[in-house]
Amino acid sequence: MVFCNGWYANKVSNADPKMLALCPIRLTVIEKDGTSSVLFVKPTAVGQGSEALPVLQEIEDTIIKAIDAAME
């Protein structure tokens, strides 16, 4: 799966254009022995020290909420 949002991309590019390398964010869904997992590179891990960190945190939180809702 690929996650990208133009509004967030604009906020990230205004804060730190280098962080646009994160867009789109790719999600990998795997299933093993009846257990599903979703893997992705956390934007906050990549963006440490970036001016875009608050926006990256917001994006990460949004993704995690969506994953949690889908896994219920």
Q: Kindly report, residue by residue over 15-26, the tens digit of the pLDDT.
A: 999 999 999 999
Which DSSP category does 16 fall into? -
Domains identified in the chain, total number: 1
Q: Kindly report, residue by residue over 24-59, the tens digit of the pLDDT.
A: 999 999 999 999 999 999 999 999 999 999 999 999
24 vs 22: CA distance, rounded Å: 6
What's residue 1's pLDDT? Answer: 73
pTM of this prediction? 0.88
9: which 2 tokens?
């991309």
The SS3 assignment for 66 reads helix
Residue 32: beta bridge partners? 35
What's residue 21's pLDDT? Answer: 94
- Containing domain of residue 11, as a range? 2-71
